[in-house]
């Protein structure tokens, strides 16, 4: 049996993961990662104190040691600064994906190894596959509705080898039933919503605290003014609501199709395959991570969490990049988002090959979009 550190968030998934490991006979210690303290007056709830109470209750019930690991400084440096830099430049970053590589299986894993643990366990809905002579790989979680392998796409091979996902082969109702069987206080607790570990804070409120409003015009595809926005960083490609502009076409809403960073203009168009900026034909993906070998010529690409994986041709490029040519147009891709690559595994299910960041998007099949 192993000596393992469980990242205990105060939710039911990580609680059930800890309970399973205890039941299996492992030596288990729980660690709550304190990543954020809302000292900047951002509207919303930062529930770390409540989370700690729940986590402590779980540890008491399971009879395991509980620790609080203060990672506030590292989280701000590695995640919050990345988030703000991305939005400032007009990108759409994903802090949750980076948090897994840099914090959970980065700083926390380093701490665990220094403390004599053999690995870090989490409540992710994902599975690890160990292949003798070929290393460890991540598979999608058995619960297709809860699968979180996308968030692990940027992890490094050495991190994967030390990662344990006890509930990856279970479905959500089974996880709650397990927590109830152990009498855990988190068994009926609602799943958390929010920015990674920051809590129930609206992204717009969070961004507004650090990035001042930069008002500009909202225009249509012909450059005609439709309204005004408070800052391009508050919008992302494909967004249907929140721009405040009513469509003159009944039953067809305006959606965000572009950001003109030079002129500080937000561009709206209609939901249509022919609308420039909305449906991508190809994309350049860079900063590739977790690759054991060159990506195959055909891959399945998941562009966002909850988005379906889509087939694409994969062409190697210089500088640790690949160009993807999608079989069918893909809606609302944005620079800065994470692309996760998968391949079918007839025996085990879909295998995660790695991931990277969208660096540029080409819409349609005729080069870059020309809006005006």
Active site residues: 99, 196
Q: The tokens of 225 are what?
A: 């003014």
Q: The tokens of 368 are what?
A: 């870059």
Give the residues across from 120 on adjacent strands: 5, 163
Q: Evaluate the CA torsion angle 298, 303, 304, 308 in order and state its sign.
A: negative
Who contacts 285 (Cβ-Cβ below 8 Å, separation ≥6)? 321, 322, 323, 324, 339, 356, 357, 358, 359
Give DSSP secondary structure letters for 43-89: SSB-THHHHHHHHHHHHHHHT-EEEEEE-HHHHIIIIIHHHHHHHHT
Phi and psi dihedrals of 359, rounded to 5? Answer: -100, -35
Give the alpha-carbon dihedral of 242, 247, 251, 253, to 10 degrees. -40
Please tell me the distance from the alpha carbon of residue 198 to that of residue 99, in angstroms, as a whole number. Answer: 11
3 state DSSP class of 4: strand
Phi and psi dihedrals of 86, rounded to 5? Answer: -65, -50
């Amino acid at each position: 049996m192993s000596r393992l550190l469980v990242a205990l968030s105060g939710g039911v998934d990580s609680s059930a993961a800890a309970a399973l490991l205890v039941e299996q006979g492992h030596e288990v210690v729980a660690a709550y990662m304190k990543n954020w303290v809302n000292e900047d007056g951002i509207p919303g709830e930062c529930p770390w104190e409540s989370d700690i109470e729940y986590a402590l209750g779980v540890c008491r019930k399971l009879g395991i040691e509980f620790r609080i690991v203060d990672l506030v400084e590292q989280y701000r440096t590695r995640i919050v600064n990345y988030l703000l830099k991305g939005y400032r430049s007009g990108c759409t970053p994903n802090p949750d994906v980076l948090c897994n590589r840099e914090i959970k299986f980065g700083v926390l894993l380093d701490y665990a190894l220094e403390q004599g643990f053999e690995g870090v366990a989490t409540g992710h809905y994902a599975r690890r596959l160990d292949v003798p002579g070929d290393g460890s790989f991540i598979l999608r979680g058995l619960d297709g509705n809860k699968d979180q392998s996308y968030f692990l796409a940027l992890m490094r091979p050495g991190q994967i080898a030390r990662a344990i996902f006890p509930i990856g082969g279970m479905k959500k109702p089974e996880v709650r039933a397990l927590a109830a069987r152990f009498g855990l206080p988190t068994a009926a607790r609602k799943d958390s919503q929010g920015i990674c570990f920051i809590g129930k804070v609206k992204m717009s409120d969070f961004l507004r605290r650090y990035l001042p409003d930069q008002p500009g015009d909202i225009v249509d595809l012909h450059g005609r003014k439709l309204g005004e926005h408070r800052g391009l960083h508050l919008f992302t490609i494909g967004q249907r609501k929140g721009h405040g502009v009513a469509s003159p076409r009944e039953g067809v809403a305006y959606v965000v199709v572009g950001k003109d960073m030079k002129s500080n203009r937000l561009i709206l168009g209609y939901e249509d395959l022919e609308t420039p900026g909305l449906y991508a034909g190809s994309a350049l993906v860079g900063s590739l991570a977790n690759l054991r070998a060159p990506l195959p010529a055909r891959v399945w690409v998941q562009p966002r969490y909850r988005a379906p994986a889509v087939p694409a041709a994969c062409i190697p490029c210089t500088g640790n990049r690949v160009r993807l040519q999608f079989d069918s147009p893909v809606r609302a891709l944005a620079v800065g988002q994470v692309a996760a690559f998968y391949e079918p595994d007839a025996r085990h299910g879909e295998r995660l090959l790695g991931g990277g960041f969208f660096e540029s998007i080409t819409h349609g099949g005729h080069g870059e979009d020309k809006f005006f």
